[in-house]
Structure 1
């Protein structure tokens, strides 16, 4: 059998399979909650939204049906328990989490998005041992934050024909997130699970503990509603008062464009 390169384990002669942007089991859960609606999938390289979920055929059967499937099962269980509920502004929210399984899955999702859009793929190569559960130290330079997104009205001057007067964080999304700080714009990867916005900050692999602490302090001082998730903890409590849904939807597109200019 001809050898090819699996996106997660490298050169192989194993069976090639399709990797969905979102796990099919998770996508079905979201669609079931949309009351007859459908989730559109924005594809950056095509600059358009598609009705059918994009896939990429670059994952071997062993990776897809093994470790990656275990991560998907974890997030589906968490979705049923916590992420399925749309939270209201001001609501107090507690989330129980397995830090490494959650972060590995979020990185997997971001890696899927990067491969499909053709952006920043090399950034993830050193992280593959971490994503696959082979080396926890390989994920040391990735910081993870959580912020809540709440339902909001669309400003009257931005309403267009056919648009609802208000929007709710009803779908899942993955992309970039721009966070202004005193030292300049910080670009993060974002994975939105309905009301839960997870932010991944990629620090240099050689970053010292002091520089990492300084980065975390600066980011949290700019986003007081966000919380850092840590391996030493398994629960976080915060207010649903981070970013309104309309601003989040708009900024996802704006920051994608600006991020491309700055990379």
Structure 2
């Protein structure tokens, strides 16, 4: 059976789809990428060759354009400790773009693909809409002051990274009722909660929400975020580890 478009099931030819928008990566100068599937970093772009030209150059490109506009206006600016920042956006476009990036990354690793594929039509929609049964929390990340334990020199580490993948909350397993994923762009961290059905136990979700950083993404497309919920060394987690460094207390 011929491989078809991951978004609309169109037959070949198929094109390469960047996990992150190409213009987005160039703006951020994200020179090193990390693949969880390969468990390594490398210099090339993360792509997957399963999207038809119509989807790639049409609705997916529209979502990427909004993300690039947000990068120019907000994501390119780091957030300092204790600061709060204004954030304006198109709620539907941003939500659909976060799902697009998550769906792209999921297909690359093979994790959460079935659930995210339910949102293909929403991602491709040519009219204003937002996905059902998806909640997004947004938090900001502050730089970390790190000290070299050998020579005592210090360095300020900024969260310069674009990452996407499953969001694991220690000691809380709700995978039977929802999927949690994270999209991180420099100082901004978006946590996606995608339910498997419309009826879920509110008590279990409430327990999870106590551990999700940030606040719900505002429906109106305008909010103030902060102060930061996480320091950079925690948010980056080790993909960009700095050997022999420890947090300054």
63-72 vs 124-133, which deviates more? 124-133
Secondary structure in structure 2 of the residue aligned to 1:82: helix
Cα distance in 1, alignment partners of residues 51 and 90 from structure 2: 25
Counterparts of 2:181 and 2:19, CA distance in 1: 15
- Identify if the C-alpha distance between structure 1 residues 78 and 138 changes in structure 2 by more than 3 Å, giving closer, same or farther: closer
- Of residues 168, 175, 179, the one that matches 2:158 is 168
| Post-superposition offset of 1:133 | 1.7
| Pairwise CA distance, 1:241 | 2.0
Instruction: Mark the runs of 5 or more structure 2 residues left unpaired by the alignment.
Output: 241-249
Asked if structure 1 preserves the Cα contact closer than 8 Å seen for 2:10 and 2:52, the reply is no
Equivalent residue for 1:12?
11
Runs of 4+ in 1 over 4 A off after TM superposition: 134-138, 214-220
TM-score, normalised by the number of residues in structure 1 = 0.79
1:23 is matched with 21
The equivalent of 2:244 in structure 1 is none
Q: What SS does structure 2 have at the residue aligned with 1:12?
A: coil
| Contact 2:15–2:51, Cα closer than 8 Å, also in 1 | yes
Which residues in structure 2 correspond to 1:241-256 (within 5 Å)?
Answer: 241-250=228-237
The alpha-carbon distance between structure 1 residues 220 and 235, as it changes in their structure 2 partners (threshold 3 A), is: farther
**1:50 is aligned to 2:42:** yes
Give the superposed CA RMSD.
Answer: 2.9
Q: CA deviation at 1:219?
A: 4.4
Q: TM-score, normalised by structure 2?
A: 0.83
Aligned partners of 1:6, 1:164: CA distance in 2, in Å? 49
- Say whether residues 1:229 and 2:217 are aligned partners: yes
Provide the secondary structure at the position in 2 that maps to 1:114: helix
Structure-2 separation of matches of 1:204 and 1:136? 24
SS of residue in 2 equivalent to 1:197: strand
For residue 71 of structure 1, give the secondary structure of its aligned residue in structure 2: helix
State the Cα deviation string for residues 164-196 of structure 1 (Å, max 9, x = none): 843211221112222358xx2566211111101
1:1-263 alignment, distance < 5 Å: 4-13=3-12, 15-31=13-29, 39-133=31-125, 139-154=131-146, 165-179=155-169, 184-185=172-173, 188-207=180-199, 217-223=206-212, 226-231=214-219, 233-250=220-237
